[in-house]
Amino acid sequence: MKVLKFGGTSLGSAQRMKNIAKIVNQQEKVIVVLSAVSGTTDTLLSIFAAIRDRNIEQAEADTRELMAHYNVYIDELYDKEVNRQQALEFVQSQLQDVLDNVRQRFVASLEFHLLAKGEIISTELFSLLLQEQQQTCCQLSALSLLKLNTDNRPDEQYLSQQLSANIEAHEQTRIFVTQGFICRNAFGEVSNLQRGGSDYSASLFAAAINADELQIWTDIDGMHNNDPRYVDSTYPIRQMSYDEAAELAYFGAKILHPASIKPARRCAIPVRLLNTLQPTAEGTLIGGSTERAKVKAVAAKSGITAIKIRSSEMLQAQGFLRRIFEVFELYHTSIDMVTTSEVAVSVTIDDTQYLDEIVDSLKIFGEVEVDEELSIVCVVGEYLIENHTVNSMVISSLRDIPIRMISFGGSPHNISVLVSENSKIEALKSLQRGLFNV
């Protein structure tokens, strides 16, 4: 049994949803995991913001606009009027629930309740389309399958039990359809796995049933060796390891959510990245053997902030770094890169929600400097640390670009450099020329 996940852009039009149906209908037994139709989540976020700000008219206008969009979408999606009417009634009921919440007392948990509507709508529309095509399918609610524990992590044992029971109860069913992204928290309330969580959901579902393969369908032909939005002459990577894929996803490759590799890797499930616009293209296979010590790809992560703590007390002071890291732990802020000298330590973060509090707490250790609008550019390859010439190749490629920090050796699979956001694109282009000779 395979798990197929389709993102929002793959559902962006009625024709694209029909294309997905063709792909699914060619498979054997599958679980189909869907995101919301592209643009829906952003609109629902805007509606939530308007409700929070008590801008009732804007919230109602946005909801009506979303309904108008789905009216057109549904009209183009189905051939039979009875299916159009059923789909319209379902979407109207979901968006009426949104409207009913507009004038009620605001509660923060409303955001999760509203955002879940996107995936709930897309799975219902897709299930109705399959039924119109006389395909046997069963829709499963992710809100009944996937829940978080008290540590805010997915309860994988519960998921495996629930998913297996549902599949066994519908033994003759070939296609199961469910939602990505959404779940319940430890208290039974609607929650989600944050942006990009549909990939993570799909990987969790695949691990729960020990799937033969996880396929993630997007609008690009697999993972590329550089960012095709900024760099010409990039090419898809046909095969890579779990470690390479995880590094690239974490450091900016948009095609894959960073968390999505872990469940699949733990169960040794192959992951394929495929293109809904070119379904016959080879794409990228993650999990197979790959060539060691070779530069595989380059990625960049924007929105980085560097924090430098300078203190003479750091010299030969036991526990100094631990106390600094405890500040970031206190404010639930992850660190990406670290460099140290005799009297200073520099770290980078990508979440500035508690930046002011972190800086204030760090001032007890010494002078604190903050530098924003930076990017981490990452060069990735399986056991790249074994390639003794790659360092000089990276530095030579970036010789005309000011480098703020370098990290090598923390992971055997990457070299990371910190540059200004203004230098990111030129760094990507320079590395494309210097490392791949294109």
Instruction: Tell me 270's DSSP state.
Output: -
CATH 3.30.2130.10: which residues of the chain?
297-436
Whether 318 has a pLDDT exceeding 80, the answer reads no
Query: How large is the angle between the packed helices 110-132 and 14-25, nearest 10 degrees?
Result: 60
Q: What is the pLDDT of residues 335-359, one digit of tens each?
A: 999 998 888 899 999 999 999 999 9
Cβ atoms of 2 and 214 within 8 Å: the answer is: yes
> Domain 2-219 belongs to what architecture?
3-Layer(aba) Sandwich (3.40)
Cβ atoms of 257 and 249 within 8 Å: the answer is: yes
- Considering the domain 297-436 in this protein, what is its CATH number? 3.30.2130.10
Cβ atoms of 206 and 269 within 8 Å: the answer is: yes
In 10 A of CB 127, how many CB atoms?
21
CATH 3.40.1160.10: which residues of the chain?
2-219
* pTM for this predicted structure: 0.90
Let me know how many helices (H) and strands (E) the chain has, helices first. 14, 16
Average pLDDT value for residue range 368-390: 92
**Exposure of 69 in the CB half-sphere (CA atoms within 13 A):** 16
Tokens at 22, concatenated: 């063709």
Whether 215 has a pLDDT exceeding 80, the answer reads yes
Tokens 């000298």 sit on residue: 341
Question: Which of 380, 377, 391 minimizes the C-alpha distance to 421?
Answer: 377
Question: Mean pLDDT, the chain, as a whole number?
Answer: 92
**Contact residues for 189 (Cβ-Cβ < 8 A; gap 6+):** 109, 112
